[in-house]
Chain A
Amino acid sequence: MTDRQQQKLLKKQEKARRKEEKYYLASQWTLMARKLTKHKLARVSLAILGIFYVVALFGGFFAPYGLESYDASYKDTAPTQIHFRHEGEWYGPFVYKLSMQRDPVTYKKVFMEDTTTPYRLQFFVQGEPYRILGLIPGNIHLFGAEGGAKVMLFGSDSLGRDMLSRIILGSQISLTIPFAGTFISFILGLLIGSASGYFGGKVDAVIQRVIEVLNSLPSIPLWMALSAAIPPEISVTQKYLLITVILSLLGWTGLARVVRGKFMSMKNEDYVLAARLAGVSDFKIIVKHLIPGFMSYLIVTLTLGIPGMIIGETSMSFLGLGISSPATSWGVLLKDAQNIANIANYPWRLIPLFFVVIAVLAFNFLGDGIRDAADPYK
């Protein structure tokens, strides 16, 4: 073996050793992230959720039309057909305008394509003004058709509003309420759970009883009762906040139980005793030494709690007890799919359902992935 080869080999070994060392020195979070990226379903879910949230954030840009913009001549239209060939020749993606007629026999509305003039689809077209996050104004939309033709990829509702736009703008509510709700649950669960676990005794007994009571109440009827108490005349923002609070009122109990259990088992650990002997305050022990020890469990519990909140919000709005117009959410959109005649005639009313299911599935898979990643024994 030549010197050169030997050196190469040594370098390689050194590299491998460094890598190994890095692995052993890596923090818990680095290890978790590494395991999570290896989990295929979790990775895909994370990507899907990322797309969902980016689209929701820049909803005004991605939605071709505004929330309330309607076209009375486009009521209950099926998803717009996108054509590529006009009169037998390649033209690129375009749409035709629709004209409404009555079927002479059944008197049902029929939409016919007016195939005389094609309207090209374009990216970055100017359209209705919007504000991203209520701050940044804009009027460029991702896509649209030239010459005032309508592109409604998911069809329109009974008022002639574009379903796709409403789904995108509705996701701003449907996808953020669970996040805000989870945040409130997180704070409540952490505070109440740590109080229960750290102090024990009477405080613990009372808190446990309250948790038991809340767990003994069926969630949807309780949410219904609380939402029914919201006065109808309050503003959209207030309603949003109230629904969030209502959903999180039941969400914290699971978290508080996890926190309490962890506190109970950890407060007698040697390192906590050491910290106490060194004169560290209670608060600092909790925040600095106890909470990091079970943070990963908290994140798992939180992620797995989000799907329930999505379904909760959707159910409430569906029943007319949650978000209501002028605001919209996936549940509000699904209200139109309440009766069978509607679905039979306009099956595209069910499209929001797929978004609900995908979001719920993605959070479930992500939660599973994080749980596997957080488990040190796997």
Chain B
Amino acid sequence: MTTRAVAPSGLRKALTGHMAKYIYRRILIFIPTILIMSAVIFFIIQLPPGDYASSYIASLKAEGNVVDATTLNELRNRFGLDEAWYVQYFKWMRNIVTRFDFGYSFEQAQDVWTIVAPLLPMTIAVSLITMLFTYLVGIPLGIYSAVHQYSVGDYVLTTIGFLGMAVPNFLFAILIMFGTYIWTGTAFIGLFSKEMSLAIQSGTMQWYECFSYSDFWSRLLVPVIVIGTSGTCGTLRSMRAQMLDELGCQYVLCARAKGVSERRIIYKYCLRAALNPTVSGLSGSLASVFSGSTISAIVMNLQIVGPTLYNALKSQDMYLAGTILLVMGFLICVGTLLSDIMLAWLDPRIRFTERSVE
């Protein structure tokens, strides 16, 4: 394979010309999006009537405990629990921006960030591995399906594709857990083995060290399949449709007439064009991975943010729930930003035209 000689100058151009302008503009849009999003999230999580501090005091008193009025007043002042929601929101935002303080979890009596931070690496790792799985499996199968249209393989893949999109994540999780229980005698629960989770809790092992154990990877496989199946099937379907559209284009006929090899036609021309919607759907698929992982993690008891969010919502632990939602939204926005930049790099038309983001 020969590399294109124009690549370095193209890259330099990309960093100064239209591409740079495009990136600056995208980053400028990124900030208000995050701000609006945080306001929406805060509005939603403060919807349940009453605040946790009051119910907390009530439950403490009911149990006959002595309530330390000063700490509670401190809490109330810190978050402005008696004030209107937008005042509370501003206080929350100010604390996040100035002190990186995401608030206090009343339920777990800890700062939110100390609860969320240890869960984040694994959440991001599981999500990224799932997305990788989605694309590594979905794209090749989609290409195969399109190139071998109406073959037995295509029909099998189409059937699997539709079924995979139709089975809700959490039920798929149950089915797989049931399957592993029948075949191996032990149900699949959790990402870490008992020894591993003990080691992580006691601090003798860092979270990233688990990647060097084959046991962890085999445990990771199940959630990745569970969370990634619907995305994989979606990618497969859209890839097949796009490839078929491209293969029917005039330029393919022209290339064939000129004697270009079929391989080259597929991988050099059609695939590049057909990848566009998949790349632009990158952030959407990150959103659906978060969405699917939340509910699957609750069913399968994975050590990621999903179950924590669920419990926080059920006990109206608003800052914890809000922070998890905010982090998810933030990551998805970053994903959107990256995919937009990647798309602009892939498809020059986007850099030059005022796109729908305007």
> Which positions in A face B, CB cutoff 8 Å?
205, 208-210, 212-222, 224-226, 228-229, 231, 261, 307, 311, 314-315, 318-319, 321, 334, 337-338, 340, 343-344, 350, 353, 356-357, 360-361, 364-365
Contact = CB atoms under 8 A, between A and B. Distances in A.
Given A224-B309, A344-B181, A356-B171, A218 B328 contact: yes
A261 B355 CA distance: 12
B45 A340 contact: no
B240 to A, nearest CB: 12
A225 B291 CA distance: 12
Given A209-B32, A343-B174, A221 B290 contact: yes
B325 A225 contact: yes
Interface of B: 32-33, 36-37, 40-41, 44-45, 47-49, 162-163, 165-171, 174-175, 177-178, 181-182, 187, 283-284, 287-288, 290-292, 294-295, 298-299, 306, 309-310, 313-314, 316, 321, 324-325, 328-329, 332-333, 336, 356-358
A209 B166 contact: no
A253 to B, nearest CB: 11
Given A209-B36, A344-B181, 11 more contacts: A215-B284, A215-B287, A217-B40, A218-B287, A228-B314, A307-B165, A315-B170, A344-B182, A353-B167, A356-B171, A357-B166
Query: Lowest 4 A-B CB distances belong to which pairs?
Result: A229-B47, A218-B290, A228-B313, A218-B291
Contacts of A361: 162-163, 166
Interface centre among A221, A307, A319, A334 (most CB of B within 10 A): A221
Contacts of A217: 37, 40-41, 287, 325, 328-329, 332
Contacts of A228: 48, 313-314, 316, 321
Contacts of B309: 221, 224
B74 to A, nearest CB: 27
Contact of A340 (B167, B177, B298, B328): B177
B313 A219 contact: no
Nearest to B172: A353
A208 B133 CA distance: 31
Contact of B181 (A205, A219, A229, A340): A340
B329 A216 contact: yes
Contacts of B177: 340
Instruction: Summarize A's interface: helix, strand, loop or mixed.
Output: helix
B292 A220 contact: yes
B168 A225 contact: no
B305 to A, nearest CB: 9
Contacts, number: 131
Contacts of A213: 33, 36-37, 40, 329
Nearest to A361: B166
B44 A225 contact: yes
A216 B44 CA distance: 15
Contacts of A229: 44-45, 47-48
A220 B178 contact: no
A94 B182 CA distance: 34
A121 to B, nearest CB: 32
Contact of A222 (B44, B175, B295): B44
Contacts of B36: 209-210, 213
Contacts of B358: 205
A336 to B, nearest CB: 11
Given A217-B287, A229-B48, A224 B332 contact: no
A219 B316 CA distance: 19
B44 A226 contact: yes
A319 B310 contact: yes
Given A217-B329, A228-B314, A319-B310, A343 B166 contact: no
A360 B166 contact: yes
A318 B173 CA distance: 13
A216 B356 contact: no
A225 B162 contact: no
A220 B284 CA distance: 13
B33 A209 contact: yes
Contacts of B332: 216-218
